[in-house]
Amino acid sequence: MLIKSTPTDVEVLEAKETATIEGGDGDQINTIAVHQVLEIDGDSDKATYQEDVNTLIEWAKHKTGSDDYAELKWAIRDLQLKIGTPAFGDRIKNLSRFAYLELEENRIKKEKDTFH
């Protein structure tokens, strides 16, 4: 399902998200939300960026401490503003790489803390 950010589509998404979250499929909603933020539309783009989207969702959950799709979207938007658009290369891959490195940094710090 292709979702553009027009007022009508946002209303449709919100209705779908409420129904899906109540049904317990929050992962699908998070993925749809991140696709919206990153403007990923089209099956080939979704397949190409699936691993990057998953990394960004994991990073946003860690950053916000929440599983709420709206908070995840804001965290990713904030990250986009923080690191900007790369002069060369793919901005989604760039965001994903930053998120991955920050997650690894946190994991390493946590593991190092076990030695103290």
The DSSP output letter for 25 is -
Q: Work out the average pLDDT over 1-18.
A: 46
Phi-psi group of 80: left, alpha or beta (phi > 0 → left; psi -120 to 50 → alpha; rest → beta): alpha
The pLDDT tens digits of the residues spanning 27-74 come to 889 999 999 999 998 888 999 999 999 999 999 999 999 999 999 999
Of the candidates 111, 99, 6, the one whose C-alpha atom is nearest the C-alpha of residue 53 is: 99
Provide the whole-model pTM: 0.74
Q: pLDDT value at position 89?
A: 82
Which helix H or strand E contains 78, and what residues bound it?
helix 69-83
